[in-house]
Amino acid sequence: MALSDLSLEDLEKLDLTLHEPAGLDEFWARTLSAADAHPLDVHREPVVTHLTTLRHEDLSFAGYDGHRINAWLVLPAGAEGPLPAVVEFIGYGGGRGLPQDRLTWASAGYAHLVVDTRGQGAAWGSGGATADPVGSDVSTPGFMTRGILDKDTYYYRRVFTDAVRAVRAARSLPEVRADAVCVAGASQGGAIALAAASLSPDVRAVMADVPFLSWFRRALQITAVEPYTEVVRYLGVHRDHVERVLDTLDHFDVAHLVPRATAPALISLALMDRVCPPSTVWAAYRRYGGPAELSVHPFNDHEGGQTHQWRRQLEWLSALLTAPGASA
């Protein structure tokens, strides 16, 4: 396997002059204000898993337009006092899975909220449980072109709003330290985490592994694999919709959103990544508004760092939250 994009040396020289759409802040302020009209309405139910060191709950909350979003809440058994929390978002096509699927963060002493992505959860893993009740105009198979002709109807408007609401739901839990809610995810999950950190001032830290949905305009030109090619196929048929589609995508491009983020970030890229080209991830990293560290995996494709990256995240987040001056 060869480099999928640019070398690290060439990334350092890359011109990252991107032009965000006019009214981006107003669009997201309007979107989140409309979401705030709905109470969070957090519901919790215990789940029997036969895991003696952890306890699980089936948690749901009101996301975009009040739609129910499902998540697993995983807590260390017998933990006392409010805990720092990690809100995790899922990669493209996957769902929250089974309660036993993700145990690392709670085993390390964190409250862990594993959030479904609406409408997804049937492509890999153990499944999801959250519908997307909103329909779509004509679209290609997948999620990338649903409602793509208008920023108000685009699929990721709902997903990113759900993410902000997930952070608020986590902060509302008595077991959680409201000043220590962190977000994490890989691929699509990494993009959603970056969006949540950009749109919510309450995020304490963000960990994004090989994030998707960054620098759309470049990704569509250089990526030959799914999911970006869903948009390419759509535009190959709807040739007269190019500018409308690109304008919509600009409102959800995390490379445009991340200059607004201030929480410390740990971002990774893989130099042989064919799904999320390194230059697109690099744009999110270099344009990030807060302090950001980068992990580079020179010989990996879109699997990224996997357990090696998760181990670094554990070390990085522990150091961040226990540093002098960090809230106890």
pLDDT digits (tens, 9 = 90+) for 121-160: 999 999 999 999 998 888 899 999 999 999 999 999 999 9
- What's the Cα-to-Cα distance from 322 to each of 97, 99, 106, 166, 301, rounded to whole Å? 31, 28, 17, 24, 33
Q: Thinking of the domain 8-320, which architecture would CATH place it in?
A: 3-Layer(aba) Sandwich (3.40)
pLDDT in the model for residue 327: 63
Q: Please enumerate, by residue number, every residue annotated as part of a binding site.
A: 92
Decide: 89 and 200 in contact? Cβ < 8 Å. Answer: no
Q: Cis bond leading into 201, ω under 30°?
A: no
The three-state secondary structure class of 186 is strand
For residue 172, the tally of other CB atoms under 10 A from its CB is 12
pLDDT in the model for residue 150: 98
Residues whose CB is less than 8 angstroms from the CB of residue 56 and which lie 6 or more positions away in sequence, other chains included: 46, 47, 49, 72, 73, 74, 75, 99
Is the torsion defined by CA of 28, 34, 37, 43 positive or negative? negative
pTM of the model: 0.97
Decide: 145 and 178 in contact? Cβ < 8 Å. Answer: no
**What is d(CA 116, CA 306) in angstroms, rounded to the nearest whole number?**
20
- Catalytic residue IDs: 187, 273, 302
Q: Roughly how many angstroms between the first and final C-alpha of the chain, as a whole number?
A: 46
**Intervals of the chain under pLDDT 70:** 327-328
**What is d(CA 182, CA 202) in angstroms, rounded to the nearest whole number?**
9
Q: Which candidate, 295, 254, 235, places its Cα nearest to that of 271?
A: 295
Decide: 123 and 90 in contact? Cβ < 8 Å. Answer: no
Q: List strands edge to edge, sheet with 68-76.
A: 43-47, 54-62, 68-76, 111-115, 83-89, 176-186, 205-209, 265-270, 292-297
Q: Please enumerate, by residue number, every residue annotated as part of a binding site for substrate.
A: 92
Could you read off the pLDDT of 203-243 as tens digits, one per residue?
Answer: 999 999 999 999 999 999 999 999 999 999 999 999 999 99
Q: Where are the domains of the chain?
A: 8-320
